[in-house]
Amino acid sequence: MFEWSFIPLAYLAGSISSAILVCKLMGLPDPRDQGSGNPGATNVMRIGGKKAAAITLLGDLLKGLLPVYFANLLNVSPEILAMTGLAAFLGHLYPVFFGFKGGKGVATSIGVLLGFSWWLGLIFMAIWFSIYKISKISSLSALVASTISPIVTWYLTKEIYLLLAALVMTIILLWRHKSNIQRLLAGQEA
């Protein structure tokens, strides 16, 4: 029964918006009202620069990583571990503290994957950086790395629940990036 407590706690952790808090603390405009309107690291970089974006990215990554890491540390079952990761991810997308309007979830999903397996998170980041180095397009890098992550999850963990969690995150990330995908296909993505 104790294991189940990780799920709501992970959702609450995910609901803490790093972008909004960083912007508020650094005297920047609310990211929901500026740039793309997305409370994520990329938009924070547009409105506040690299330092603000790096802090936001770290915060978003940690809120995915820490709940999963602690659940893993306490040796919860694979299904609870998977649901804990999904809860943190969904908290970022639909934060209870910010009217259920959150970011797109890339950094938080990386944190979740790192919690599942350090290698899994590091491979995701390596793919992201490789694609970014070639294309200079953040959304394309995230989409490619996310699409590959369920395959890598299965290869590294052989856990069906972790595979399902990675697959659900990928599907949601693709859906949340549908406007980016349309711009990519039209050759208009910045």
Write out pLDDT tens, residues 101-122.
Answer: 899 999 999 999 999 999 999 9
Per-residue pLDDT of the chain (190 residues; tens, 9 = 90+): 688 899 999 999 999 999 999 999 999 999 999 888 889 898 999 999 999 999 999 999 999 999 999 999 999 999 999 999 999 999 999 999 988 889 999 999 999 999 999 999 999 999 999 999 999 888 899 999 999 999 999 999 999 999 999 999 999 999 998 888 888 888 787 6
How far does the chain reach from its first CA to its final CA, in angstroms? 47
- Nearest Cα to Cα of residue 91 among 78, 79, 107, 75: 107
**73 token code pair:** 């540390």
Domain ranges in the chain? 2-186
